[in-house]
Amino acid sequence: MRLTALLSRAVTMPVILAWLLFLPPDEAGAQPALQPLLQEHQAELARPSRSTIGPVIAALLASDHPGITDFLRKWEAREVYLRPEDGLFFYAEKTGSRLRLIDIDSGAAVAEPGSREIEQIRPNAGVRREVAAALVPFELNAADPARRAAALDAIARSAEASQIAPLRESIGTETDPALKIRKERLLTLLTAQFAPTRSERLDAIAGLAGDISIEARGVLNQLTATRDGVAAALPAGANIARVLEPGTDLTEAQAHDRLVAAGLAPPRQTAADLRDVLAQHIVEGAVGGVPLHRLNTTAERIRAYEALERAGTVPPRAAPDEMARAVAAHVFYTEYLQPDPRITQAAEDALAATTRTLGLYQVADLVLDGLSLASIFFLAAIGLAITFGVMGVINMAHGEFIMMGAYTGYVVQLFIPDYTISLLIALPLAFVVTFGAGVAMERLVIRHLYTRPLETLLATFGISIALQQLAKNVFGTQARPLTAPDWLSGALTLNDIVGISTIRVAIFVLALIFLALLLFILRRTRLGLEVRAVTQNPGMAASMGINPDRINMLTFGLGSGIAGIAGVAIGLYAQVTSEMGANYIVQSFMTVVVGGVGNVWGTLAGASLIGFLQKGIEWFNPSNTLAAQTYMILFIILFIQFRPKGIVALKGRAAGD
């Protein structure tokens, strides 16, 4: 029995082996080789171009080979190599300075050639976009979220009707909430453009109403796109957007030009054209039988041209009355490219809703910009408001205290590279430095000129020039960087329209902090009480035991210190140069004068008025900020004619001055 079993096995095993060898690959369960399929398109894959690669990709994907999508991904990522000696394709991996070739079918390493023995296939950006678009249906369900996001990017770049079905199917299996929202939104955009039924498109278009994103507006604008048309009568069945009236919607000349472009009328002829044509047809001292000496008037030239026209020498000329008749005999219109009137009407309604929403968000963005600029002006002017209001000193060097604060922050960052820590140190240090400089300036110069305002103005102007030159000598003329921490480098973005940089938000918060701090000092501390007393009536304050001279010194130092802190804040987004203070001194004085001298609330009101006014003017003419500032100054000149004491006027000495 055992012998019989052994003989049976000996006969059976070769039969099985032969059957496995000659069995077709599909029946044996083996995967068909990919390399032969690639060799059918070897030339196109090795030297890809955007004009020829489309049919090749379609043919490869139509083969339904399980490895073709991986190959195309690697090929797009430039991870496929060609061996010139036999034309075979390989994957590769780095092994030091050499490449290890990986067989595309088996995945086994086959060789480690030198860089000159192998060619990397480098499809250009256009070819890679074609591949990415072709792989979209496969990538939408990829395990890697990054690949699914890339597939959505590819759909957004080149939308097609064929992408609706795979995109809709992938939504149900999407596990990433953000990607699912993006897929649903992209499906709405595709449905609005390419859905097979009108009802689906109308529902999708209605869903885009009020959507201010660039993609949604692009789709709606595409659906409402028009082209100009002209005909003897309105074409039947055309989706007419608007009928244009010559003389109202377009001039007669523009209407005639459209007729000429459509081949419905001869071109107009200018006086120069008429003269040039006549000059080419001079025969024996005459043109069309009209002697040359008589061609000095337009009427004679036209008569000569008409003679040439009757002789068939020149093309017909459109006379003014002929132009008018030609224009009157035709109808001018704009026609929607989209033939379905209900689709275009729905798109127009959605676009109108989007325009209204867009306007509201633009107003909100303008308000944010105005608040941001107002907070900057407030920080720059509040110190000047204190010194000007209490002491009546026109300090033209106030901008240089802002510059000193900015340079203080720059120096701190030279020694402390951590931008967050350096900022926390720079703010109080800038206050100390500029406070000391302000006290020194008040003790050495200002205190001797209190009763001579013109000389005070000239003295502080000279000091400002000296401080600018000192900064140039120390730091040079080049702008110095004052770098914001990473947590201040971004932006708060609500949507495509409304957004504001984080630095400006921080400056706004800093302005609020200073507003609260100053109100606390002025209303809740002894120093504030004495400052208000000196502001209202210095003689009475002195009789009550208050030293006005000391209050003036501390007040000037406080105003200068606040300017230093403003300089650090402004330097985080503006260039730190020796002239940076001059950019804010004019706005600071305008803020103080408009708001009301010596009043914190007045400074806030003035900064708000000037900030919103400047941004509002810039909104009407965004390309010319200089014009906006000019108009703003003119408005302020008119404003102070009607309210010379500012928005919030003081009583006492400041009011009398």
Q: What confidence category does residue 537 fall into, taking pLDDT thresholds of 50, 70 and 90?
A: confident
Give the mean pLDDT of 129-140: 77
Question: SS3 letters for 450-469?
Answer: CCCHHHHHHHHHHHHHHHHH
Return the SS3 of 600: helix
Q: Read off the tokens for 522.
A: 């002025």
17/504: higher pLDDT: 504
Q: Are 611 and 494 in contact (CB under 8 A)?
A: no
Beta carbons within 10 angstroms of residue 99's beta carbon: 21
pLDDT confidence of residue 205: 93
pLDDT confidence of residue 409: 92
Q: Are 656 and 642 in contact (CB under 8 A)?
A: no
Least confident of 332-336, 505-509, 598-602: 598-602
pLDDT confidence of residue 651: 53
What values do phi and psi take at 578, rounded to 5? -70, -20
Q: Read off the tokens for 480.
A: 């110095």
350-369 per-position pLDDT tens digit? 999 999 998 898 888 888 88
Residue 179 has pLDDT above 80, yes or no: yes
Q: What confidence category does residue 348 fall into, taking pLDDT thresholds of 50, 70 and 90?
A: very high
Distance of CA 589 to the CA centre of its chain: 33
What values do phi and psi take at 230, rounded to 5? -145, 140
Q: What confidence category does residue 6 fall into, taking pLDDT thresholds of 50, 70 and 90?
A: very low
pLDDT confidence of residue 653: 45
Give the mean pLDDT of 14-22: 38
pLDDT confidence of residue 13: 38
Question: What is the DSSP-derived secondary structure letter of residue 117?
Answer: G
pLDDT confidence of residue 8: 37
Residue 17 has pLDDT above 60, yes or no: no
Give the mean pLDDT of 181-199: 91
Residues 6+ apart with CB under 8 A from 534: 390, 541, 546, 548, 551, 552, 555
Radius of gyration of the chain (CA): 40
- Distance in angstroms (rounded) separating the CA atoms of residues 162 and 169: 12
Provide the percentage of residues in the chain whose pLDDT is more than 90: 16
Helix (H) or strand (E) holding 421: helix 419-444
pLDDT confidence of residue 343: 93
pLDDT confidence of residue 7: 37
Q: What confidence category does residue 586 fall into, taking pLDDT thresholds of 50, 70 and 90?
A: confident
Q: Read off the tokens for 174.
A: 């999407």
Question: What is the DSSP-derived secondary structure letter of residue 611?
Answer: H
232-279 per-position pLDDT tens digit? 888 888 899 999 998 888 888 888 888 888 888 877 777 777 788 888
Residue 641 has pLDDT above 50, yes or no: yes
- Distance in angstroms (rounded) separating the CA atoms of residues 433 and 410: 13
- Distance in angstroms (rounded) separating the CA atoms of residues 437 and 445: 12
pLDDT confidence of residue 655: 47
Helix (H) or strand (E) holding 290: strand 290-291
397-441 per-position pLDDT tens digit? 888 999 999 999 999 999 998 888 999 999 999 999 999 999 999
pLDDT confidence of residue 135: 75
Core vs surface per residue 224-259: b (16+ CB within 10 A) or e: bebeebbeeeeeeeebbbeebebeeebeeeebbebb
Q: What confidence category does residue 25 fall into, taking pLDDT thresholds of 50, 70 and 90?
A: very low
Q: What confidence category does residue 325 fall into, taking pLDDT thresholds of 50, 70 and 90?
A: confident
Residue 564 has pLDDT above 70, yes or no: yes
pLDDT confidence of residue 16: 34
- Distance in angstroms (rounded) separating the CA atoms of residues 494 and 492: 7
**562: closest CA among 537, 534, 588, 543?**
588
Q: What confidence category does residue 223 fall into, taking pLDDT thresholds of 50, 70 and 90?
A: very high
Q: Could you please state the CATH topology (level 3) that the domain comprising 359-656 is classified under.
A: ABC transporter involved in vitamin B12 uptake, BtuC (1.10.3470)
Q: Read off the tokens for 333.
A: 């219109």
Q: Are 533 and 548 in contact (CB under 8 A)?
A: no
pLDDT confidence of residue 22: 41
pLDDT confidence of residue 193: 92
Q: What confidence category does residue 389 fall into, taking pLDDT thresholds of 50, 70 and 90?
A: low
Give the mean pLDDT of 510-514: 86
- Distance in angstroms (rounded) separating the CA atoms of residues 574 and 576: 6
Task: Report which listed range, 140-154, 177-191, 306-320, 486-500, is most confident.
Answer: 177-191
Question: What is the DSSP-derived secondary structure letter of residue 268?
Answer: P
Q: Domain segments of the chain: what residues? A: 1-30, 31-129, 135-223, 226-336, 359-656
Residues 6+ apart with CB under 8 A from 547: none
Core vs surface per residue 592-615: b (16+ CB within 10 A) or e: bbbbbbbbbebbbbbbbbbbbbbb
Residue 29 has pLDDT above 50, yes or no: no
Distance of CA 17 to the CA centre of its chain: 69
Residues 6+ apart with CB under 8 A from 602: 385, 592, 595, 596, 646, 647, 648, 649, 650
Q: What confidence category does residue 559 fall into, taking pLDDT thresholds of 50, 70 and 90?
A: confident
What is the dihedral sign for C-alpha 442, 447, 451, 456? Answer: negative
48-101 per-position pLDDT tens digit? 888 788 888 888 878 778 778 788 888 778 888 888 888 888 888 877 777 888
H-type alpha helices, 23-67:
25-28, 35-39, 42-46, 50-62
pLDDT confidence of residue 353: 93
Q: Are 522 and 533 in contact (CB under 8 A)?
A: no
- Distance in angstroms (rounded) separating the CA atoms of residues 265 and 259: 5
| pTM score | 0.66
